[in-house]
Structure 1
Amino acid sequence: MNELLTLTIRQIRDLYAKKALSPSEYWLAVEKQVDAFEPHVKALYLYNPESARAQAAASTERWAKGETLGILDGIPITLKELIATKGEPVPLGTKAVPLVPAAEDAPIAARCREEGAVIFAKTTCPDYGMLSSGLSSFHPLSRNPWDLSQNPGGSSAGSSAAGAASFGPLHIGTDIGGSIRLPAGWTGLFGLKPSNGRIPIDPYYFGRCAGPMTRCVEDAAYSMGPLSRPDWRDATSLPPEEIDWLDLGIDVRGLKIGLMMEAGIGLDVEEEVQAAVLAAARLFEQAGAEIIPVAPVLTRAMLDGLDNFWRARFWGDIATMPEEQSAQILPYIYEWAKGGSEITGAEAVKGFNQTYEMRKACARLFSQVDVVLSPTNPIVSYPAEWASPTNDPTKPFEHIGFTVPWNMSEQPAASINCGFSKSGMPIGMQVVGPRFADMTVMRLCKVFEDWTGGIKAWPEAPSTF
């Protein structure tokens, strides 16, 4: 792999400042990597190398004149397909949506352009972002760069595949039940779901967040200042706050860390995942933190209630579609949603109310501990062609027990690599903090990354597949 592709954002910016590297030169290294790896991983949508070259050339001129726009000037990035970019369609991962150009940039895209970032592509996602998979009726099947027979997770599938394939240092995903953290865990990335409202999004939906997916914690920190600027289009966005996102030092001594090794529902945690997370927890204990085993916050009633609500809501969206349009939805998604036709309004409301039960359970837990560690995913991996780890539309959410509660409780949570399976697949550990303690989560991930050294060798593009 070209050594330029191993650089962090800090290192890239330092070379830009010294005029030892230009944004144009760096982009060409990324473009060559995309040319070699994208035919195998299928991570990108609307990939536009000509536009990227022009953006990089403009950034090169700004760096030469000392007139850069922001901290991300000249940094190649991707945005998840669900994040609107002006003049480009947002198919929502499905053939059922008409390809209508977006009228304006979503907040995240607007902030990245203001910074001078090189937006070179969107990234793939499954139909309506409703799967933890790279399977879509619209996009080609996205695959995991670590093993092309395996799934990159989702719904930020292309973001995770692009990050692990070294298509530049920064990729922005979205998350409503684990869609940043789950794929980050399965591909070895650091993925942050910030406190709800920290990064403004449009359209807003209960529990929905956006966040960075990167190969190291500091690269994510570089993005948080620009991305967290308030935007009036998200009525839930947090007020302006002066945060030094690059101040990542922390002393863990005396910290009460809850260790949650069971999700309470769904798939059992595989032995290799359990061993990796327990080993990670011991590092925190050796550094002076107090490790406290804690019970799950999620119950079957909570997850089934959320499932009922999401099915009913989604069925309400597609029930009035012309048959020829709804027939184009991925069959797995359609079959799952059709179950919503039998859910009454009262049952849907009862299901939604389970989100408040999740929130109460999470608050109760955090009255006893400062942070929580857990597995991100209960299993090591699953086939690329599967729609979910169960591949069963009647049991679509059996793998999100560790991730979904923190969306409903609006708490920051991140996934960071904590080891590898015998098969060579990454294993993710989740770090969860109290509401608005995004920096605590990032600092704990950074100190853990410093202890372990992080991932040094990322996947190489295969010659054939």
Structure 2
Amino acid sequence: MTETANQSPQQEGTPRSRGLHDLSAAELSSAYAAGTLTPVEVAEAVIERIREREPELNAFYRFDPQDVLRQAQDSAERWRTGSSRSAYDGVPCSIKENISRAGIPKPSGTALPDPPVPAGNAPVTDRLLEAGVVVLGSTTMPDWGMLSSGVSSLHGVSRSAWNPAWTTGGSSAGAGSAAAAGYGPLHVGTDIGGSIRLPGTWQGLATLKPSAGLVPLDAPYTGRAAGPLARTVADAAVLMELVARPDPRDYTTRPFPPQQWSAEPADPAPLRIALQLDAGCGEAPDAEVLAAVQAAAALFEQAGAVVEILAPFIDEDMLHGLDEFWRTRSYADLEELEPAHRELVLDYIVRWCSRGADVSGSQTIRNFHSIGRMQQATVLAVAPYDVVLSPVAPMAAFPAEQPMPLPDPERTMGHIGFTVPYNMSGHPAATVNCGFTANGRPIGLQLAGAVGNDAELLRVAAWYEAARPVSSTPNWTALA
């Protein structure tokens, strides 16, 4: 089934000159403060947008329009009485289904019965509610978050807002489609090997996988991070302003100094920039991807930055060890299930993780140590640079029904060679769209920076976002 919204050409102007669902967080904040818009009007427009596109996109696991309207009415009353909780009170935001919301089941993409129901919120959820944002609902993910697509035993197939035949990317699958489709400006995903940035590259988004420990988690794990998916760097910065705050519930939270979140473009001239075109492992980048990333690097060089080629710093052995460790970890989860329940997990995931059954304890330890080797290699390689530019993934979007870019479960992780090093090292890594393939599929540029320097990295991303040619800029209002 295909449903489309009214299309309109991209245009500048007042908030009223565009669809309310398309407005940025800053535009909504200004309109609420001026009294020219109310959170209820915006919520109604976003709900209508979701109803138009959701039967096709399947981005939401939980979406309750009445609850959204209730939140918006509460926000409108706060604005009316001068008691708004923050400048972004009433701005719509979605939350990935594996981020705890009190009383909302967390199936993690699987069709297993009796999913856990959290008694309390995750730190991210609490920070958003404290700011008064309107939580639209929980977005979809694939089984256990171990696929880079929107294929799930519970949800079926989530689809790209650009073309429903294309993948969403994953595992923040629904979040990526919600952001691209204009379900409001703010969307939260999680990332353990590229799960924020892959939907970013395949749906033309601005995203950030934050520094390790900057955004507190309810379920911390090696390499895991939570962060924004948005249409613009400015909206990504707004979300970081709201959620990048220490919380004692996350024992991995680091005492980073305060950051000034802004989308004011940084001056690229003083920057020493590395350009990495070969990950050293996995699939080689497609020619169209390389050309788009090289053109982006040339813009930085023309603006005065020093750009140097960075040789590969991780290898196939490191990536294989990490993949096998993840397989073993997921097989341990599978092994705990009743035999009848194992059949409910996506067959691709079962085939992928079952190889973990044959991995010895000593090999598991060796595989775990590959994380440390990857971390060390990444830290040493990127230390001399302010920013590292690279592709996000070697390829553009693949068919929506395909679980991974490489369909063979024995070759699953060949697409994360550029992204996963920064999960293991803890460096922040952002994405901005930098081009399109000949058939219109988005191509993302990855920008990685120093640990704890996330706000400045977003300012560099904002410079590129403003400097890129029109041919590399997504026309969001043209999306159905």
2:94 pairs with 1:84: no
Q: How does 1:200-349 map to 2 (within 5 A)?
A: 200-239=216-255, 241-246=257-262, 248-349=264-365
User: After superposition, where does 1:185-196 map in structure 2 within 5 Å?
Assistant: 185-196=201-212
**Pairing 1:45-124 to 2, within 5 Å after superposition:** 45-96=61-112, 98-124=114-140
How far apart are 1:385 and its partner, in Å?
0.4
Decide which of 169, 172, 177 is 2:185's aligned counterpart.
169
In the alignment, what sits opposite 1:431? 447
**3-state SS of the aligned residue for 2:226?**
strand
CA distance in 2, matches of 1:384, 1:217: 26
Distance 1:221 1:178 in 2: 19
In 2, distance between residues paired with 1:197 and 1:100? 25
How much does 1:214 deviate? 0.5
Distance in 2 of aligned mates of 1:115 and 1:265:
42
2:14 equivalent in structure 1: none
Deviations, residues 26-80 of structure 1 (Å, cap 9, x unaligned): 1111111111011111001110110000100111111112211023210111000
| Structure 1 unaligned spans of 5+ | none
Aligned to 1:406: 422
Q: Quick one: distance in 1 between partners of 2:45 and 2:273?
A: 41
Given the alignment of the two structures, is residue 458 of structure 1 paired with residue 467 of structure 2, yes or no?
no
Matching residue of 1:390: 406
Q: Conserved in 1, the CA contact under 8 Å of 2:162 and 2:479?
A: no
Q: Deviation digits for residues 123-173 of structure 1, max 9, x if unmatched?
A: 000000000010000013100111111101100000001111100000000
Structure-1 separation of matches of 2:113 and 2:249: 23
Deviates more, 1:335-344 or 1:58-67: 58-67
1:394 is paired with a residue whose SS is helix
Give the CA deviation at 1:6: 2.7
1:344-383 equivalent positions in 2, closer than 5 A: 344-383=360-399
CA-to-partner distance for each residue in 1:403-434, whole Å, 9 max, x for gaps? 00000000000111011111111110000011
Is the contact between residue 45 and residue 81 of structure 1 (CA under 8 Å) also seen in structure 2? yes
Q: In structure 1, what is the Cα distance between the partners aligned to 2:34 and 2:474?
A: 25
| Residue 240 of structure 1, CA deviation | 6.0
The runs of at least 4 consecutive aligned structure 1 residues that moved more than 3 Å come to 453-456, 459-462
Are the counterparts in 2 of residues 141 and 385 from structure 1 also a CA contact under 8 Å?
A: yes
Give, as a single letter, the amino acid of the residue that structure 2 aligns with 1:161: S
Q: In 2, Cα distance between the equivalents of 1:67 and 1:455?
A: 38
Partner SS for 2:20: helix
Kindly tell me the number of residue pairs found equivalent between the two proteins: 462
Which stretch of the first structure deviates more once superposed, 91-100 or 380-389? 91-100
State the Cα deviation string for residues 196-239 of structure 1 (Å, max 9, x = none): 10000011111100000010011111111220111111101122
Give the partner amino acid of 2:438.
Answer: K
Alpha-carbon shift at residue 247 of structure 1 (Å): 6.1
Q: Please show how residues 155-166 of structure 1 align to structure 2 within 5 Å.
A: 155-166=171-182
Gaps (5+ residues) in structure 2?
1-6, 8-17
CA contact (8 A) 2:92 2:134 kept: yes
Alpha-carbon distance in structure 1 between the residues aligned to 2:304 and 2:373: 33
Query: Structure 1, residues 367-416: CA drift from partner, whole Å, max 9, x if none?
Result: 33221000011111110000000111111101000000000000000111
Aligned residue among 213, 216, 220 for 1:197 = 213
- Per the normalisation by structure 1, the TM-score is 0.97
Give SS of 1:121's match.
Answer: strand
In the alignment, residue 186 of structure 2 is paired with which amino acid?
L
Change (3 A) 1:430 1:288: same
Task: Tell me the amino acid that sits aligned with residue 223 of structure 1.
Answer: L
Shift of residue 460 of structure 1?
5.4
Work out whether residues 153 and 346 of structure 2, in 8 Å CA contact, stay in contact via their aligned partners in 1: yes
What SS does the aligned partner of 2:118 have?
Answer: coil
Work out the CA distance in 2 between the residues paired with 1:315 and 1:408.
Answer: 21
Checking the alignment, whether the CA contact within 8 Å between 2:165 and 2:399 is kept in structure 1 is yes
- State the alpha-carbon separation in 2 of the partners of residues 389 and 315 from structure 1: 22
> What is the CA–CA distance in structure 1 between the aligned matches of 2:156 and 2:390, rounded to whole Å?
32
CA distance in 2, matches of 1:275, 1:44: 34
Go from structure 1 to structure 2 and tell me whether the alpha carbon gap of 1:250 and 1:460 turns closer, same or farther (over 3 Å shift).
closer
Distance 1:106 1:367, change over 3 A: closer
Q: 2:94, 2:186 within 8 Å by CA — same for their partners in 1?
A: yes
Is the 1:72–1:223 contact (alpha carbons within 8 Å) kept by the matching residues of 2? no
Q: Distance in 2 between matches of 1:371 and 1:456?
A: 23
- Aligned partners of 1:179, 1:114: CA distance in 2, in Å? 26
Structure 1 residues 84 and 149, CA gap change in structure 2 (3 angstroms)? same
Q: Deviations over 1:260-317 (max 9, x none)?
A: 0111111121111111111000000011001100112220110011011111111112
RMSD: 1.4
Distance 2:317 2:477 in 1: 40
Alignment check: 8 A CA contact 1:153 1:182 kept? yes
Query: Whole-Å Cα distance in 1 between the matches of residues 409 and 87 of structure 2?
Result: 43
From 137, 142, 147, the equivalent of 1:131 is: 147
Q: Provide the secondary structure at the position in 1 that maps to 2:148.
A: coil
Structure 1 counterpart SS, 2:409 = coil
Task: Please give the alpha-carbon distance, in whole angstroms, between the structure 2 residues aligned to 1:347 and 1:395.
Answer: 19
Task: State, as a whole percentage, how many aligned pairs show the same letter.
Answer: 42
Distance 1:6 1:87 in 2: 30
